[in-house]
Structure 1
């Protein structure tokens, strides 16, 4: 059969039945095999290019699937690498443009006005679906790659790969609150996340902000002004050390260049002295913007142990109450739950903050992160400051995947187990080391 007799390329335009059937097939082929329509009924050179590009895309997708099951760490490394994400974004944009052009050209070749009147809206609807399935999906994926790249660039620093210390990575978490009634930032939440680099076993060590006489090693810049521990002459709480460090920037002249600041470094030195652990990285979370991250996750689930009033300490009456039992909290209410001082004490607040941390970790399951990826990454860029280098991201994502199947261990350095006014550091260091001993997944 010669080209001149091919019904797809040279149809009987007077037959609505033939033109309607042809239109359905062309639009469907554009969905399934972009480029094939042009090979059959349009510009064959353009069609071969589009078809070849589509086959290459399928091949890359198949390779990605195979790699995922063989060694997913390769994909994780690519997904957390700024250069790789840039290349991926450019490629996806190119595919979006190509498939957009193929879809519009398909509509031209369909000659929809020649189809049966009743079929025209349905054919047009399928054409729109084709556009979304091909060009729209590629454009959306390109946008996500760009969002991820920008977030990684904004949040994470440049730096070298670091090996674990004694088999673990120890990260200091600070929940910062720089309210208008405060001088500088004071961490309301202080904890250490210690993760086994092999098993992913995780221990969260909570330190009360009213811990006193924080100690420093002789190698710490804070040891000079406070050789016998943090003694400022008045109420010398651990949470105040951030401001103390900011007032002594000369002690940490390289902090800013390393993605930190003097306040954070003073806190790091104190936390190392208290726990006996080497703190490799810090993460500072802005509590004012914390609710954005929780909202991006779709809220969190908290089992409230007993009825709790919430509101500022300056208020004579509470704003409201958290009723006992399971509650689904949005960002604003989760923040009130974690920070409320209307009832209870700092130790109870620490327990609630730990509840919120664990609830957020539960919400960080892969399905939830994928479906809300853009909102989560954009919120993270506004909320988080850290000195974790970009090169460590793939390693930490790999470890985090292992930790999902393990329970989170918790140690609170609070009374009666720990005397926070006159701390016994050898005893505290023993408690910390014991909390890190946990079974591996195979045990």
Structure 2
């Protein structure tokens, strides 16, 4: 009976359903065995697809319907394995096995239950979290081809606070990605950039054909509020997953860089630290000792020492935003450091191990008009980008006059920053 018990437990692990076919309820066994064979078949097909064209798996893994089906199937498998394992323990008849073997048999059965039913339940939970995050964060919409071979995404770091009227982008960037190689350039625009021009034919161009002139200090960062105060200029913004303020910023960024901005991503800087904490912190090489604290404080809260530092979310936010020391251009450089560090931390192994926390944090701090149908394409491109250095261009003095901009010169700088070697080079 001890030998029989070990055989039954082993068969339940290797071929769920076979135990019932051999020694129990054959109807249950045939159902369990059939489900096991289907599971194996799907697993083999997935492995084959991974080596033939993994983009198919990426597309399925970012599709809400496919994720829902996967969640249902995995949850059903978890319940089935639970039922089969308990039924196997009934058939084993531990009381008739050798006394010394009983605890071992029970332990092996429980470990197998955790590995099978527990693993399937956990995978079902991840599928549900992924589906909910995609549905919550990403918009509906159609697939778009790259413009001149690139996808250009406006990245805004939103800084809304009790001492501010509305939201003002504290960080303004364009992430331009080569659709074939994954080569990425981050173009930084200072929020105190003045006399911004707009893409021709846009609502803001009609309102300010000679550039942004509000009659006072007309900074690029103020355009979000300007747009929010003129919602009639962008009547379709809400239905397209955007806002009037975001669209005003998009028109300005297009006009300043000469690039077509297909999508935007707005990150809530107040909740930004949650995402960094979910990733396990970020590594920053601090170039020189830096004081941090609010600009209103007479003394700093503390200092970042020069050299490599591992920062949690709160400290990374202080590093990126501190106004106590330095100027806006230095803050831009620090913000770009943080952005690059997050991209580097977004490697597949790190994201998978902390997936639920990353997904939940991302859903709280990110707003975007990137459609769900584009996700598989961007995941594919992001995988290529991981192996390449990130190019950066800061549109700041002395290269750029941010008070009286020379746009032909800026357009040349932007185009030159996009020229980078492919992985094969």
Deviations 1:17-68 (A, max 9, x none): xx33322222222222211221222112211211121121111111111111
Moved more, 269-278 or 307-316: 307-316
3-state SS, counterpart of residue 318 of structure 2: helix
State the alpha-carbon separation in 2 of the partners of residues 136 and 296 from structure 1: 23
Matches of residues 306-321 of structure 1 in structure 2 within 5 Å?
A: 306-321=288-303
Matched, 1:25 2:14: no
- Give the superposition deviation at 1:345: 0.8
- Give the superposition deviation at 1:354: 0.8
Matched, 1:91 2:89: no
Matched, 1:304 2:286: yes
- Give the superposition deviation at 1:124: 2.0
State the alpha-carbon separation in 2 of the partners of residues 371 and 299 from structure 1: 14
Deviations 1:267-292 (A, max 9, x none): 00000000000000000000111111
Deviations 1:159-212 (A, max 9, x none): 111111111110000000111111100111100000111111111000011111
3-state SS, counterpart of residue 206 of structure 1: strand
Question: Is the contact made by 2:197 and 2:252 (CA closer than 8 Å) also made in structure 1?
Answer: yes
3-state SS, counterpart of residue 207 of structure 2: coil
State the alpha-carbon separation in 2 of the partners of residues 64 and 174 from structure 1: 37
- Give the superposition deviation at 1:358: 0.8
- Counterpart of 1:205 in structure 2 is 187
Q: Of 234, 237, 251, which aligns to 1:252?
A: 234
Deviations 1:65-94 (A, max 9, x none): 111111000000101111111111111111
- Counterpart of 2:309 in structure 1 is 327
Give the alignment's TM-score, normalised by structure 2.
0.98
Question: Is the contact made by 2:291 and 2:303 (CA closer than 8 Å) also made in structure 1?
Answer: yes
3-state SS, counterpart of residue 388 of structure 1: coil
**RMSD value, Cα:** 1.1
Matched, 1:242 2:241: no
Question: Is the contact made by 2:200 and 2:255 (CA closer than 8 Å) also made in structure 1?
Answer: no
In the alignment of these two chains, the number of paired residues is 425
State the alpha-carbon separation in 1 of the partners of residues 44 and 372 from structure 2: 27
State the alpha-carbon separation in 2 of the partners of residues 251 and 126 from structure 1: 67
Question: Is the contact made by 1:31 and 1:133 (CA closer than 8 Å) also made in structure 2?
Answer: no
Q: Name which one, 1 or 2, has greater alpha-carbon Rg.
A: 1
Matches of residues 220-369 of structure 1 in structure 2 within 5 Å?
A: 220-369=202-351
Q: Of 163, 170, 189, which aligns to 1:181?
A: 163
Q: Give unmatched runs, 5+ long, in structure 2.
A: none
Give the alignment's TM-score, normalised by structure 1.
0.94
Q: Give unmatched runs, 5+ long, in structure 1.
A: 1-18
Matched, 1:48 2:30: yes
- Give the superposition deviation at 1:334: 0.8
Question: Is the contact made by 2:388 and 2:423 (CA closer than 8 Å) also made in structure 1?
Answer: yes
